[in-house]
Amino acid sequence: VSVDHTDESSNTVQVTRKTAPTIYDIARLAEVSPSTVSRALNKPGRLNQGTERRIRAAADELGYRLNPIARALHTGKTQTIGLVLSDITNPVYFDLVRGAERAVASEQYTLVLAESQESAELERETVSRIGRSVDGLILVASRLGDQDIIELSSDKPLVLVNREVPGVASLVPDVAQGIREALDHLKSLGHRSIAFLRGPTASWMSSHRWEVLFDEAVSRGLHVIEIGPNSPTLEGGADSLRRVRASGVTAVIAFNDLMALGLLMASQQDGFAVPEEISIIGFDDIFGTAFTTPAVTSVRSPLGDLGEDAARELLAVIDQTERTAHRPLHTTLIERQSTGIPRTG
Amino acid sequence: VSVDHTDESSNTVQVTRKTAPTIYDIARLAEVSPSTVSRALNKPGRLNQGTERRIRAAADELGYRLNPIARALHTGKTQTIGLVLSDITNPVYFDLVRGAERAVASEQYTLVLAESQESAELERETVSRIGRSVDGLILVASRLGDQDIIELSSDKPLVLVNREVPGVASLVPDVAQGIREALDHLKSLGHRSIAFLRGPTASWMSSHRWEVLFDEAVSRGLHVIEIGPNSPTLEGGADSLRRVRASGVTAVIAFNDLMALGLLMASQQDGFAVPEEISIIGFDDIFGTAFTTPAVTSVRSPLGDLGEDAARELLAVIDQTERTAHRPLHTTLIERQSTGIPRTG
DNA sequence: CTGAAAGCGCTTACAG
DNA sequence: CTGAAAGCGCTTACAG
């Protein structure tokens, strides 16, 4: 490790940072009142041209930059929104975070990021830690109970992603299309009996996908079972292998790609052939699904768009502007090599 | 897409959110002065037991929660730190972000996340957007010039990660150990001539790795060349294949894993055998390097520890406390199957 | 141990 | 068009 410090800090002498100029400094320099400075800077064009120019010149000269804290205290707006995820390192969230970050940055907002680590308790703590200093919250795959979420949304603008709660704004991509494509794909390959590898109990999205999958499978005359709950991780997928083999199904649809990848690797280690003995489909099409051999067939979710739209939706609620029409967010099957004709089919 | 709204918001009638209680409300209820309330809540044990208890009871009854903005205006501290990355979706950063998030959260700080999109210009904008409302900044793989960084650090606590600038605190894992292991590994396999696939011109880390690699290769009597600059992405790696083949080297060490993966996939598509015709080593050991066939040999960086230590270092600077001894952050080679005996060796 | 007062740096009615 | 004043919700010397 290399750690360098300025001479000052290594002497533990405080680096005296020049105190930032305020509108009072500008007022003095431009010979106007502070209120006039504030107006000049906030609503250009409402003042005498000369005064405004003088004020701007003074501000530039002093290197003035607005203190957002002081403004926030008065306006009650911090120009900041909070994004709460269950697990920062799950690759599913990368695109979502990026989409949200770009959407807010383009409106001069700032993103505050927090993680709940798959725990309702920690999520509650996290929300209360950041809640008071953001203008609104995006809760992704929230592990909180419906009641908690309803209360939260009554005192702060709130948008849910991949979670639905009655009366609360939420964005969930239409999962049916991708699931139908997945089932049609499996059926056409000759599969008759499939399993859904479910995620954690607290995951609304896992139940949601299961319910849609169940109905669609039944209507196609496919046998369908549920295996789990499992941790939504590589390990969770790997750990389910025994139950998958014991179940006798020829195909598995996992709650997410991490589980699908885990199951794939565990299968290969066991010499259980993919896709000959078991076809595997993941969910979300995260980074890495295309890297394995066989590459993982997956139902792609529009994560980047989801993050972006959630942010825009939230900003609209905060600013009380009309939301623009929503683009449809749907899922679609990406066929790769982890699905094939079943040996027993 | 499903978008639900409360009745109020869909009528565009403002949802009247109850205004939050302040210390004045508590003061009235507990029949003390606001200053006493502030003390009771901030420095427990300094007041008369009875008063303190009465105040706490009143606060609980009202559901009081401190307004961090108001406090910040007075103290000048927001309990927030900013993390600026070049590219949020690069998997290298996942663990780093998580490490930093956990470290700051454990100190009741909050993480603000921003992205510079590989552009010095955008990075400057980003820093100025979030700079005034954070207590300090972590700049990861900053694309700013040395002078900009020095100025920045003179008016705000700042810690650099994977970048060194004289006089500015910075954390860079020791890259030499991993590089030595990589070279010894290649040499023992019989390689005599290797290439470094460099990253973007503005990447300090790319130059740093190259310099260390150069010296170590020369001292081992290996021929070494540099190919690039390249975009630090899958595409960047893939695009370099032609130059790699033309160069005649038998092994490549890429600036990062994304490039190594891109090169691997392009090679396979071209029928250029890995590792028989070209051995490939990546850098950082990101998620996904173990998934390919052959799996990618990589120099692992301790990204999570880096993020955590950078955050702790920054908090120490902010609070002017003594930094605890730093643990060594070193790199180490993870041998997988993308390296092997060269056919021409 | 507790209170009155000033101040953090803005914004915004209210006057003129 | 511009200024004086109050206020956002805290904290912290300064008194007593």
- Going residue by residue through chain A (345 aa), what tens digit of pLDDT does each one get? 444 433 333 333 345 566 789 999 999 999 999 999 999 998 888 788 888 889 999 999 999 999 999 999 999 899 999 999 988 878 888 889 989 998 998 898 999 988 888 889 999 988 988 898 899 999 999 999 999 999 999 889 999 999 999 999 999 999 999 999 999 999 999 999 999 999 999 899 999 999 999 999 999 999 999 999 999 999 999 999 999 999 999 999 999 999 999 999 999 999 999 999 999 999 999 999 999 999 999 999 999 999 999 999 999 999 877 766 678 899 999 999 999 999 864
Quick check: A98 and B108 CB within 8 A? no
Question: What is the distance of C-alpha B269 from the center of its chain?
Answer: 32
Q: How far is B112 from chain A (nearest CA, A)?
A: 4
Task: Tell me the CA–C1' distance in angstroms for B29 and C5.
Answer: 22
Output b/e per residue, B139-151; b: 16+ Cβ within 10 A: bbbbbbeeebbbe
Q: What is the CA radius of gyration of chain B?
A: 26
Q: How far is B230 from chain A (nearest CA, A)?
A: 21
Task: Tell me the CA–C1' distance in angstroms for B22 and D4.
Answer: 27
A130 vs B contacts (CB less than 8 Å) = 110
Q: How far is CA A49 from CA A20, A27, B45, in A?
A: 26, 16, 57
Which nucleotide is closest to the Cα of B42 by its C1'?
D11
Flag whether residue B35 sits within 8 Å of chain A, measured between CB atoms.
Answer: no
Flag whether residue B321 sits within 8 Å of chain A, measured between CB atoms.
Answer: no
Task: Tell me the CA–C1' distance in angstroms for A282 and D7.
Answer: 56
Quick check: A18 and B320 CB within 8 A? no
A112 touches strand D (CB under 7 A): no
Q: Which two tokens stand for residue A86?
A: 């269950």
Alpha carbon distance A29, A47 (integer Å): 17
Quick check: A169 and B4 CB within 8 A? yes
B18 vs A contacts (CB less than 8 Å) = 155
Nucleotides of chain D touched by protein CB (<7 A)? 1-5, 7-13
Interface of A with B in 171-200 (CB under 8 A): 171-174
In chain A, which ranges are continuous DSSP H helix? 7-10, 23-30, 34-42, 49-62, 68-75, 92-105, 120-131, 146-155, 176-189, 204-219, 234-239, 241-247, 257-270, 303-319
Task: Tell me the CA–C1' distance in angstroms for A321 and C15.
Answer: 33
Alpha carbon distance B257, B331 (integer Å): 14
Quick check: B108 and A89 CB within 8 A? no
Among B232, B252, B255, smallest CA distance to B241 is for B252
Phi, psi dihedral angles at B124 (to 5 degrees): -60, -45
Alpha carbon distance A92, B50 (integer Å): 52
Question: Is B257 in contact with B284 (CB distance < 8 Å)?
Answer: yes
Q: Which residue in chain B has the smallest CA separation from A330?
A: B1
Q: Which two tokens stand for residue B128?
A: 């100025």
Interface of A with B in 105-124 (CB under 8 A): 105, 108, 110-115
**Residue range B246-280, pLDDT digits in tens:** 999 999 999 999 999 999 999 999 999 999 999 99
The pLDDT of residue A272 is 96
The pLDDT of residue B20 is 86
Q: Is the dihedral of CA A53, A55, A60, A61 positive or negative?
A: positive
Among B140, B158, B255, smallest CA distance to B197 is for B255
B288 vs A contacts (CB less than 8 Å) = 287-288, 291
The pLDDT of residue B192 is 96
Task: Tell me the CA–C1' distance in angstroms for A34 and C15.
Answer: 17
Quick check: B261 and A98 CB within 8 A? no
pTM for the whole structure: 0.87
Q: How far is CA B276 from CA A18, A145, B293, B342, in A?
A: 61, 55, 13, 5
Q: How far is B288 from chain A (nearest CA, A)?
A: 5
Q: How far is A5 from chain B (nearest CA, A)?
A: 5
pLDDT tens for each residue of chain B, 345 residues long:
444 433 333 333 345 566 789 999 999 999 999 999 999 998 887 788 888 889 999 999 999 999 999 999 999 899 999 999 988 878 888 889 989 998 998 898 999 988 888 889 999 988 988 898 899 999 999 999 999 999 999 889 999 999 999 999 999 999 999 999 999 999 999 999 999 999 999 899 999 999 999 999 999 999 999 999 999 999 999 999 999 999 999 999 999 999 999 999 999 999 999 999 999 999 999 999 999 999 999 999 999 999 999 999 999 998 877 766 678 899 999 999 999 999 864
Phi, psi dihedral angles at B204 (to 5 degrees): -60, -40
B17 vs A contacts (CB less than 8 Å) = 154-156
Quick check: A3 and B110 CB within 8 A? no
- The DSSP result for B152-173, as a single string, is HHHHS-EEEES---TTS-EE--
Flag whether residue B69 sits within 8 Å of chain A, measured between CB atoms.
Answer: yes
Task: Tell me the CA–C1' distance in angstroms for A58 and D2.
Answer: 18
Q: How far is CA B135 from CA A204, B48, B66, B111, B216, in A?
A: 37, 34, 19, 11, 40
Quick check: B88 and A67 CB within 8 A? no
Task: Tell me the CA–C1' distance in angstroms for B283 and D1.
Answer: 63
Q: Which residue in chain B has the smallest CA separation from A75?
A: B69
